[in-house]
Copies of this chain bind each other. A is one copy, B any other.
Amino acid sequence: MIAMGAMDSMFKDFKLIAGRPVYIQVQDYMKHLIIKSALQGGQKLPSTRELSTLLKVSRNSIIAAYAGLEDDGFAYAVPGQGNFVAMTTPGSVTVASRPMNWQDHLSGHARLAEELDLMKRGIRAEKGTISFTSIAPDESLFDLDNVKRAFMDRMAVEGNVLLNYGYAKGYKPLMDYLRLYLEHKGVDMKGKDMLITNGFTEGLDLVLSALDHRHGSVLCENPTHHTAIKNLKLHGFGITGITMERDGIHLGELEQALAEGEYDCAYFVPSYHNPTGIVMSPEKRQGLMKLMAGYDIPVIEDGFNEELRYSGSHVSPLIATAGAGNSVIYLGSFSKVLFPGLRVGWVVADEELIYYLESLKRARTIHTSTLDQSILYQYLHNGNLEKYLKKARAEYKRKYELTLACCKEFLPYTALSGDGGLHLFVAFAEGFKTRELLEACRAQGVIFTPGDQFYTDGGGQHTMRLGFSRVRDAEIRKGIQIIGRAATRQLMG
């Protein structure tokens, strides 16, 4: 039994927080004291009346807390005598062992993943920094009420179903919706099927796992999406990058590469190409697919942000351009368009490939969050995408034009690309180092993404990507002005 004075000081740091049952808070607190050995095995606990006074909570809460402690093996009751700390509490009996040196147990794959992890090599920005590194959506545009309504609507329809196991392929109402959505983009869904994934990234990872590696080589645009470069490398592929022109990939260079090499697949980003922001022209899409039709090479199409296109005229994705052809694997997602936090993407491809991808998906993550899928479905069904896109396109277009104007006014660039979307790509004179520019700008509170990380061949050291989606108007102007001054100084010096 502890003296009341000792207990006074022992229990005085207990603080109630809102929204969590009081008895659970008491229980947590007592467990903490027991684990830290502030209360020891065999020691008598304060009576429920005493503890109620000490912690200033109701005696019922203490009674419930003591019952919980007993259930969890932290305490025991002796009838007529009170409650005692258990002699052997969780964690009190342990086995001594030599510490393991984890470096001895890591795979080369894990080391490579860490080495290629840009988030671990990235630029740390202090608070208040103007950051052009993100191309995530502007969360102030989010229509939270529609998301809440979608959740409540769907929970009312089939809450029990949503919270239990779903199917590896995906949540059927969402797949039905997306099938129609893709048909409206001109995709011939006959003989094709769909797999829902945890966003674009899982889709790409599964597809790269499913493809044969006999040539160990992949074709893509140069520069291209850095996550794709990382995952291609992690899957052991060598990368042949094809130069980008103002309207998309250089077809002549592609033709030559196709004639000279052997490839397991090709990866293209026809809409809002990352990092250049270029939308491949309809003519080039036709040309590209005509060229690829002569080769037996699967084409992975990254549908990145095609929904954000501002212009009225329709541009078909490659998978639509391919018509009844079955060589294109389309990776779609609304992540950047709607809500990245909902991890939902989809793969559309020949039904035979999807059949194998389904098994891979099941082995990796069983299935994609049904809640995420069902909220997305209901949000789409309720007609919110159309309304949201109207608002988002207008806002991003405004920001795009502002960013473009600021670049033209302040930056000593040699080339500038970006047909809209969420970012622009800037090239300075050959020999210019944007990593040096970044150092100078960071010291003045402005950061951006150096372009070299998007290149497949170590090039692009004179380039940078400016993501404007999450930067406020005044800061776009101020930030680009600072970059411009630093770049001019660097060019002169």
Whether B350 contacts A20 by the Cβ 8 Å rule is no
Whether B368 contacts A95 by the Cβ 8 Å rule is no
Whether A325 contacts B96 by the Cβ 8 Å rule is yes
Query: Which chain B residues lie closer than 8 Å to A159 at the CB level?
Result: 142, 144, 147-148
Name which of A253-261, A312-320, A410-418, A444-452 contacts chain B.
Answer: A312-320
The verdict on A151 contacting chain B, using a C-beta distance below 8 Å, is yes
Query: Which chain B residues lie closer than 8 Å to A187 at the CB level?
Result: 91
B-contacting residues, A360-401, CB 8 Å: 360, 362-372, 375, 381-383, 386
The verdict on A238 contacting chain B, using a C-beta distance below 8 Å, is no
**Copies in the assembly, this chain:** 2
The verdict on A120 contacting chain B, using a C-beta distance below 8 Å, is yes
Whether B366 contacts A369 by the Cβ 8 Å rule is no
- Among B21, B210, B366, which residue has its beta carbon within 8 angstroms of that of A106? B210
Whether A72 contacts B136 by the Cβ 8 Å rule is no
Whether A298 contacts B363 by the Cβ 8 Å rule is no
Whether A186 contacts B90 by the Cβ 8 Å rule is yes
The verdict on A202 contacting chain B, using a C-beta distance below 8 Å, is yes
How far apart sit A258 and B151, CA to CA, in the bound complex (Å)?
51
Contact residue range for chain A?
35 or more
Whether B367 contacts A343 by the Cβ 8 Å rule is yes
- Among B70, B185, B286, B314, which residue has its beta carbon within 8 angstroms of that of A312? B70
The verdict on A339 contacting chain B, using a C-beta distance below 8 Å, is yes
23 CB contacts below 8 A, A to B, read: A19-B382, A32-B184, A73-B313, A86-B314, A90-B320, A94-B322, A97-B292, A97-B325, A105-B264, A110-B356, A113-B359, A119-B362, A136-B165, A147-B155, A148-B155, A164-B340, A198-B365, A198-B366, A198-B369, A231-B363, A364-B364, A365-B365, A372-B372
Q: A95-B323, A96-B293, A109-B360 are in contact. List 12 more A-B contacts (CB 8 A).
A: A28-B180, A31-B184, A35-B183, A73-B313, A86-B314, A89-B186, A91-B185, A95-B289, A105-B353, A107-B210, A120-B359, A140-B160
Q: Give 9 nearest A-B pairs by CB, closest first.
A: A91-B186, A73-B314, A94-B323, A90-B186, A97-B293, A21-B383, A163-B339, A117-B359, A139-B160
